[in-house]
Structure 1
């Protein structure tokens, strides 16, 4: 049975960075659609599906979020395509997206909460150049939607407070792509 592992957690917890690393291990990611313009290092179909607002509105979206006037969302077609073609895939989503994935795929979705402390969230957002206004909005939104507390209902919890590599290896063990050292010794 093919599965989707949904990476959930607060902003700047490392969901996207972890997901990009997992792709290097052959685990495909489910890409979101967005109406924002691509950054210089981003490509259509490699990072997001960059679409116009009109195209976005025509697409059957199962999760929809707005940040800074831009729409982001998961298309039903993209999710079903990845699930049908790959035994394991990952997606970085918020609570609403996880709930919609569970409605669509039921028991084929498992959640992995990426745990990070509040101070590190702020520090990472500052390091990546987010404005204080944006940080405040993202933190308020995360608090109002419970993004910091989703660990309580997640299938798995992974701490991402130090090494990205350690967090990735923990997830590889969870999805069955790596045997944990504790099982070898």
Structure 2
């Protein structure tokens, strides 16, 4: 019987969570979306990652884990998680710190929490690249500070310090997920010479 693992990514806005998930999805790695009341405009980069629901509909749902962020609600159905775990060996999900205890209680050793860490300079550069206004960036940084989002590493099993290229961070994610393997010595030596 295969062992299925749920790899949960968390970290502040701009740390690269959505980017890494999309890179993984493009490779064929299964992603389990959250249900949310967050308004997603047509050009939203997060549109593929969330299932939008009206607030009234969301309030009628029975989620095994539910959390809020910036006035929006996010929830996960237990059956979505169990179905994905039954079908795929590797699964990805985006979580915030408040949801981790519920997932740990459900999955125990089959949950690996990965915190994406970035400094304020990297966060600001990435939000600016997303065309976030300076006022919104200030508000976001204030929210990160007040809610101790950068302390999420304390609940994590692994940390990816994502202040360089997305490719480097993605290689680290794949290594954590066990999706890389050492090269035979000859090929390794060849790569060192290139």
TM score, norm. by length of structure 1: 0.85
Alignment partners' CA distance in 1, 2:168 and 2:46: 29
Alignment partners' CA distance in 1, 2:182 and 2:14: 26
Provide the residue aligned with 1:15 in structure 2: 17
Q: Does 1:66 align with 2:69?
A: yes
Query: Are the equivalent residues in 1 in contact too, given 2:10–2:113 (CA < 8 A)?
Result: yes
Query: Are the equivalent residues in 2 in contact too, given 1:4–1:89 (CA < 8 A)?
Result: yes
Change (3 A) 1:74 1:140: farther
Q: Which has the larger radius of gyration?
A: 2
Query: Are the equivalent residues in 2 in contact too, given 1:13–1:115 (CA < 8 A)?
Result: yes
Equivalent in 141, 164, 174 of residue 139 of structure 1: 141
SS at match of 2:100: helix
Provide the residue aligned with 1:31 in structure 2: 33
User: Offset at 1:45?
Assistant: 8.3
* Structure with more helix by fraction: 2
Q: Alignment RMSD, CA only?
A: 2.6
Provide the residue aligned with 1:167 in structure 2: 169
Q: Which of 148-157 and 88-97 deviates more?
A: 148-157
Alignment partners' CA distance in 2, 1:111 and 1:56: 26
Provide the residue aligned with 2:91 in structure 1: 89
